[in-house]
Amino acid sequence: MTTRTSTTVVVGADGSQGADDAVRWAARLVSGRALELEVLHCLQVPALYYGSGLAGSEVLVEQLRQEGDRIVVKARELALSIDGSLAVRTEVLNTAAPAGLLDRSRRVRMVVVGRSGTGGFAGMLVGATAATVASHADCPVAVVRGRHGESPGVPDGPVVAGVDCTPNSEAAIAVAFEEAAFRGVPLVAVHAWNDVTYDSTAGTARLMPQPESIAPTEERLLAQRLAGWQEKFPDVEVRRALVRDRPQHTLLAESERAQLVVVGSRGRGGFAGMLLGSTSQALIQHASCPVLVVRPESKR
């Protein structure tokens, strides 16, 4: 990926189906590139957080560590079943999953997590670990989603990029072009605008000019935002999708036929204190394919 010099992609493993899907997806991502994969399992041990004086805590920790060792061995085997030549490291940490993955995010190329973990509730569309890591990580985060019981994403589908025509999306555009180029698939650049925006935290609505007067300007801005990247990746077929709609609506629809959706952490109108914008949140909760959330360079 263009945004980091590290050659390591780290994937969280907890033995759940969602995590297994994430391991396979991460292995495919690394395969054929000069990258290595690190499988990370984090222990959830109450004694670690509330003190070590609990009766039987040492036995509990040892049992959980043995289970963690089993989980990472299985995850490594899953990764090697995708590509037996991969360089795969494993590690079990005595910390909670969000903390362990967030710490790793400071020095790796990408963090990959499953849609939910072993502690997820049935009604949760994305697990707490995935949501926390996507919101706070210092590197790009892939949340591996897919329709229930199906492989994540459409194998021959395009890469979809959300483009909001602000500098905040530049890093996401770069990653989307690189992914499309490596995978040999088209890039669908989605720029969605609406004729009502909200200017403040108070939710003050502002009507924009007539749609027919806005569209040419938005189209020009989209072309300008993509031009340099099209020159850098001339072999990538770019399909522009300029629509009058809320971004999450269009991107969720595109995810039905995509193999990957790439978005910035915050879109147009995002507030400085927001770690994850509404569009990114909607996608990691509801998308039909894996979602890659990319932060601006200045934020990492």
Count the alpha carbons within 13 Å of 8 in the hemisphere toward its beta carbon.
14
pLDDT for 220 equals 86
State which amino acid sits at residue 128. A
pLDDT tens for the chain, 300 residues long, are: 544 678 999 999 999 999 999 999 999 999 999 999 999 999 866 544 445 555 556 787 788 889 999 999 999 999 999 999 999 999 999 888 899 999 999 999 999 999 875 444 333 345 788 889 999 999 999 999 876 556 788 889 999 999 987 767 899 999 999 999 999 999 999 998 764 444 444 555 444 555 555 678 788 888 888 989 999 999 999 999 988 888 889 999 999 999 999 999 875 544 444 457 788 989 999 999 999 999 876 444
pLDDT for 300 equals 40
pLDDT for 123 equals 36
State which amino acid sits at residue 296. P
Distance CA(70)–CA(29), nearest Å, equals 24
pLDDT for 149 equals 56
For 279, phi and psi rounded to 5 degrees?
-65, -45
pLDDT for 247 equals 86
pLDDT for 210 equals 54
DSSP 158: P
DSSP 251: H
- Which residue segments constitute the domains of the chain, with CATH numbers given? 8-144 (3.40.50.620), 159-299 (3.40.50.12370)
pLDDT for 128 equals 83
pLDDT for 199 equals 45
Contacts 24+ apart (CB under 8 A), 85-91: 86/27, 86/30, 86/31, 86/36, 86/37, 87/36, 87/37, 88/27, 88/36, 88/37, 88/38, 88/39, 89/36, 89/37, 89/38, 89/39, 90/38, 90/39, 90/40, 90/41, 91/38, 91/39, 91/40, 91/41
